[in-house]
Amino acid sequence: MSTDGAFDRFTATIDAAAAIAGVKDSALLERIKTPERIHEVSVPIVRDDGSHVVLTGYRVQHSSARGPYKGGIRYHPNVSLDEVKALAAWMSIKTAVVDIPLGGGKGGIAVDPKTFSKTELEALTRSYTERIWRVIGPQVDIPAPDVNTNSQTMDWIAHEYGRQSRTISPAVVTGKSIAHGGSAGRDTATAQGGFEVLHAALEATGESIDGAKVSIQGFGNAGANAALLLHNAGALIVAASDSTAGVRDANGLPVLELIAYKAKGGSFADLDGYEKGSTEDPLFADSDILVPAALEGQITAANADGVKARWILELANGPTTPEADALLERRRVKVLPDILANAGGVVVSYYEWLQNLHAEKWLREEVEARLSVTMRRAYERVSELATFRRASFRLAAYAIAIERITTALSMESREGRVALGR
Ligand code: NAD
């Protein structure tokens, strides 16, 4: 499935939500849509066999209207400028929806990291950091993990940034290992945030997670942790997939076993003893709740009618195209949108950044309690507006973000005018 046109999908959604936000100023909307800065860099490395390769990396700084740029770094063969622009823009919207004082950015390298050794991945990460270190920083732009990057990647970036800038700056990235300044609860934050949103939404309609059938596409940080939380709350995980295959069991998959298997580097394609299917299998499984937790552009106009679930919890960024959204809405499938549902990761990243800046260490319980309040508050605000304006959760969330970014931008222009007038 294609990820092309993701940025166009972002701008189309801004246009649709602007009416709900009551923003008609086209120049202002153009500012909200357009990335402030785009960096494209060459990433040279020497491979273990002595050969030289030059890869392409990006860092898109979309909006700093509400605070420093914030967003992950992805290593994937499909990484393109269009994709990174869309991911950066979604971060600006997401930080505004959960109302944390950060903007939006994203980075990536077009590479298949599965073909690289650990030494090569470190060399790649340090080379990329060498290229971008002048444009990131604790008060400027704070990267984090995304697909195929993790706490180890962040530790390398923080170390290389420190070497280049001759500073000790753990706050330059979030999602680090605990030993290097990471926050308790960051590993499970995206899943917990999604869980809170789902819980609140089901509560509002008198439904329950207990006994619900759930299917999950993607079994990495977001998907596997969500599987565990939902399983612990009494849900049956009836289908799951990774990038190699899908596995299913109508009586519920053994979540802990699957997590242990994946932690050892296993692929579902090699897992014996299960009914198998394609990587897209969970999208069309006979479930109550579908959790897309892999990549963008998975639920499209071509396949949306095959979705049987009544709820979609978007832990992946951009898994549903606008055309699919419209089809799902017509069938009254409720979509809890990425910019709300997966915001737990960036919220705890914000907590990690605060802890680093203030040399503090919060307890996991403290992090989880704060995250729960922030996510539930964001859900309530989105749900209120969606009901009031008879809009989808997605458009309501975008409208709230547009309003908050607009307020920040209007403050900026007033300051600009004052400065010019001096
Ligand atoms: P990850 O690398 O830990 O896991 C990705 C998972 O998706 C892996 O299990 C991989 O095998 C699987 N996958 C890849 N392509 C697939 C396909 N075509 N079909 C089925 N499975 C596939 O990444 P992650 O951090 O869990 O991120 C997953 C999604 O969640 C991404 O869209 C990411 O942007 C989003 N997200 C993650 C976070 C976070 O904190 N990790 C926060 C917000 C959003």
Segment 113-168, tens digit of pLDDT: 999 999 999 999 999 999 999 999 999 999 999 999 999 999 999 999 999 999 99
**Contact indicator for 315, 194 with CB cutoff of 8 Å:** yes
Task: Name the token pair of 277.
Answer: 């299917």
198, HSE (Cβ side, Cα atoms, 13 Å): 30
Q: What is the pLDDT of residues 11-47, one digit of tens each?
A: 999 999 999 999 999 999 999 999 999 999 999 999 9
Buried b (16+ CB within 10 A) or exposed e, 57-70: bbbbbbbbbbbbbb
Whether the full predicted model's pTM is greater than 0.85, yes or no, is yes
Task: Name the token pair of 387.
Answer: 């009901």
Give residue ranges with CB within 6 A of ligand 1: 145-148, 190, 217-223, 241-243, 279, 293-295, 315-317, 342, 345
User: What's residue 4's pLDDT?
Assistant: 60
From the CA of 173, how far away is ligand 1's center (Å)? 19
Q: What is the pLDDT of residues 206-253, one digit of tens each?
A: 999 999 999 999 999 999 999 999 999 999 999 999 999 999 999 999
From the CA of 315, how far away is ligand 1's center (Å)? 8
User: What's residue 371's pLDDT?
Assistant: 98
Residue 414 confidence class, pLDDT cut points 50, 70, 90:
low
What distances in angstroms separate CA 45 from CA 131, 161, 206, one per listed residue? 12, 17, 55
Beta-bridge partner residues of 372? none
Task: Give phi and psi for 176, each to the nearest 5.
Answer: -75, 170
DSSP class of 178: G
Nearest CA to ligand 1 atom 28: 294
**Contact indicator for 55, 89 with CB cutoff of 8 Å:** no
**What is the Cα–Cα distance from 6 to 8, expressed in whole angstroms?**
5
Three-state SS at 236: strand
- The alpha helices in 22-150, defined as continuous H runs, are 26-33, 81-97, 118-132
User: What's residue 159's pLDDT?
Assistant: 98
Please give the positions annotated as active site.
Answer: 106
User: What's residue 258's pLDDT?
Assistant: 98
CB atoms within 10 A of CB 374: 21
Radius of gyration of the chain (CA): 21
Residue 5 confidence class, pLDDT cut points 50, 70, 90:
confident
- The alpha helices in 183-220, defined as continuous H runs, are 189-204
Whose CA is closest to 398, among 338, 334, 352, 308? 338
Strand-pair category, 275-277 with 246-248: antiparallel
User: What's residue 314's pLDDT?
Assistant: 98
Q: What is the pLDDT of residues 288-315, one digit of tens each?
A: 999 999 998 999 999 999 999 999 999 9
Nearest CA to ligand 1 atom 15: 243
From the CA of 416, how far away is ligand 1's center (Å)? 40
**Residues contacting residue 419 through CB under 8 Å, at least 6 positions apart:** none
**What is the Cα–Cα distance from 397 to 100, expressed in whole angstroms?**
14
**What is the Cα–Cα distance from 283 to 287, expressed in whole angstroms?**
9
**What is the Cα–Cα distance from 409 to 171, expressed in whole angstroms?**
25
**Contact indicator for 90, 369 with CB cutoff of 8 Å:** no
Tell me what percent of the residues of the chain surpass a pLDDT of 90. 94
